[in-house]
Amino acid sequence: MKKKYTAIAKRITLEDMEKEHEGYNRAVKFVLKEYEKGTLSGVRGAVGELITAEDAYAVAIETALGAAIQNMNILLGVDEATGLDV
């Protein structure tokens, strides 16, 4: 039983850390929290939240991105000529 509770506690801790955007700098946390509150629009998220990969590649991707993992992806609008998001 103890193992089950430990696994549940770890999962809850990780979910809380993700919700609080642990590991991101203060400015990124601010933008993400304001978006979640609805005071900012067009925020798609931090690069680190948007990328998915197999576990075997996670360290390589994190290493390659470095600090850019905190870059924000923000929708500015739609290009009228192409209809593409910019």
Q: State how far the Cα of 72 lies from the Cα of 44, in Å rounded to an integer.
A: 8
For the chain, which residues make up each domain, given as ranges? 25-86
**pLDDT tens figures, 66-84:** 999 999 998 887 766 777 6
pTM above 0.75, yes or no: no
pLDDT at 86 (0 to 100): 62
pLDDT more than 70, % of the chain: 92
* pLDDT of 15 above 90: no
Q: How far apart are the first and last CA of the chain?
A: 51
State phi, psi for 29 to the nearest 5 degrees.
-60, -40
Closest CA to 21 of 65, 70, 59, 74: 70
Q: State how far the Cα of 52 lies from the Cα of 55, in Å rounded to an integer.
A: 9
